[in-house]
Chain A
Amino acid sequence: MIEVENLFVHYGRGASRFEAVSGVSFKVERGETYGLVGESGSGKSSVMNAIAGRHEDWEGTIHLASSKVLPRKRSRADRLNVQIVFQDPYGSVHPKHPVGQSIEEPLVINRAPNRQARVADLLKNVGLPGHFRYRFPHQISGGQRQRVSIARALALGSPIMLLDEPTSALDVSVQAEILNLLQDLKQKNQLTYLIVTHDMGVVAHMCDRIGVMKDGVIVEELTKAQLISGQVKHPYTRELRAASLGEEASLEISV
């Protein structure tokens, strides 16, 4: 469903132009959950932004659902293929729109029929009560806002969902609910997920395959089983895994 080949992503212009992603390639099969793991500065978010169409300064090849996408122009079909759920539950929905309006927006823009019924349906699918459609974001909790964000991403029935640190800003107990919800939705709607995160626990729980990123490249690709059992090859992956399990680390740091 997702094919990325030799992706380079740049930010900035002229003298301050720098390369955030240097030649990344990976494939995500239909119905799979692929995780891009790395720390800040690894380039994982840049990869997602390029795939989502949020950032346009990239080179390489990206195929979404077998159709090629271009950096600057996204067709309507491209848009219907992929939707994104963001990290910050507060910033991801318009603070002054009632929640139902935010969910309805993709339907309005793309002129879908039966909007009111669809919105009611979507709210039900993400486990929110119907009357929430008239609430404002500041009147609902972080976890509920994230559900709204998910409902909006589902509105157009896109087969591919990009999840940008979907639970990083949430409490442990709320995170569990959202992760379970994402799993259920994936089963029900046969979705394909690309998830970007720094949390190894989440990755081990959700992902079928994982790409570990550091300094703009994928240093290792592994399966869920390999990650859990510790059959990792690259020292950086080992380091991340160890840190997640609370093990020792070296102390020295320089500028």
Chain B
Amino acid sequence: MAAKPILSIQNLEITFPMAHRDFRAVKGVSFDVGNEKVGLIGESGSGKSLTGRSILRLLPGNAQARADAIRFEDRDLLGLSEAQMREIRGSRIAMILQDPKFSLNPVMTVGDQIAETCQIHLRLDKKQAYSKVVDLLERVHIRNPERVYGLFPHEVSGGMGQRIMIAMMIVARPSLIIADEPTSALDVSVRQQVLRILDELREDRPTGLLFITHDLNLVRSFCDRVVIMYAGQVMETLEARDLDNAKHPYTRGLLEALPRLDRPRERLSVLKRDPEWLKETAK
């Protein structure tokens, strides 16, 4: 991949000040995202969600984030003011979260919510926004968009809710999509559909996708590259297709611990956490 990366994170640190000593949730994390799908894998507490949110400066109030650089398309995000970040959020960089039930406004129809996004980012009037919304809904393969326009979030299924979130997200044609566990709340058969849609949307222009999840099986088939995180640090970065040949003992441990339909075993091997892994690699 010769072109410059769309997103480049260098030496990210996220700290939570606490009573006795600071809690370092993320330490020295660096990786790039180009026009590709990068999976950020980790278990709970690994710091993967915090990393994703820090890009858009969406961390909880008491968190302190520092990095050598967070570069997005030639701009260092760390140096931007809040007003400048607001311009980027939702238009240049989009984020999709886990449960559409919590991301969608329960008292507005889904169509109106997407229309609102259109009006804000594209400055369309009501009529133009309506046809844009119908168009977007069709792009995410929703068959009767006019009908779906008038539905409320509680009337749509999980899979459809995520498609609606995706539709809202692509209004302003972002260059980077951060997806934080977008399919974890969905049924197994619906997951693949949603992923395929994300894939399709990247076809018109170079778009980076940062896919944050704990599901190893999912990224094996979906992502191009994989970044493995544990206890706030990056353990290993590798091509997704090489996942089964991973070198780092933590990654190997995770792979061995996973029950797999195509690889039955008597007993699942249990991950032995080596304190060696917590030692920070010198930068």
Residues in A lying within 8 Å of B, measured CB to CB: 39-40, 142, 171-177, 179-180, 183, 198-202, 204-206, 224, 227-228, 239-241, 243-255
Say yes or no: is B254 at the interface (Cβ < 8 Å to chain A). yes
The chain A residue with its CB closest to the CB of B43 is A171
B271 and A176 form a contact (CB under 8 A)? yes
B189 and A249 form a contact (CB under 8 A)? yes
- If over half of A's interface residues share one DSSP class (helix, strand or loop), that class is named, otherwise mixed; here it is helix
Q: How far is the CB of B82 from chain A (nearest CB, A)?
A: 35
A179: contacting residue among B143, B264, B268, CB under 8 A: B268
Q: How far is the CB of A227 from chain B (nearest CB, A)?
A: 7
Chain A residues within 8 Å of B43, by CB: 171-174
B187 and A39 form a contact (CB under 8 A)? yes
A228: contacting residue among B142, B144, B262, CB under 8 A: B262
Which of the four size classes fits the interface of chain B?
35 or more
Q: Mark B247-283, 1 if CB is under 8 A from A, else 0.
A: 0000001100111111011011111000000000000
How long is the Cα–Cα vector from A108 to B236 in the complex, in angstroms? 50
Q: Which 10 A-B pairs have the closest CB atoms?
A: A246-B221, A176-B257, A205-B259, A173-B271, A171-B43, A249-B192, A254-B143, A39-B187, A176-B268, A201-B259
B267 and A180 form a contact (CB under 8 A)? yes
How long is the Cα–Cα vector from A249 to B189 in the complex, in angstroms? 8
Chain B residues within 8 Å of A40, by CB: 158, 187
How long is the Cα–Cα vector from A31 to B160 in the complex, in angstroms? 41
B159 and A251 form a contact (CB under 8 A)? no
Are A251 and B216 also in contact (CB < 8 A) when A40-B187, A179-B259, A241-B261 are? Answer: no
Q: How far is the CB of A13 from chain B (nearest CB, A)?
A: 21
Residues in B lying within 8 Å of A, measured CB to CB: 43-44, 141-144, 147-148, 151, 156, 158-160, 163, 187-189, 191-193, 196-197, 214, 216-218, 220-222, 253-254, 257-262, 264-265, 267-271
B260 and A204 form a contact (CB under 8 A)? yes
Q: How far is the CB of B237 from chain A (nearest CB, A)?
A: 19
Chain A residues within 8 Å of B148, by CB: 255
How long is the Cα–Cα vector from A199 to B148 in the complex, in angstroms? 30
B260 and A253 form a contact (CB under 8 A)? no
A247 and B192 form a contact (CB under 8 A)? yes
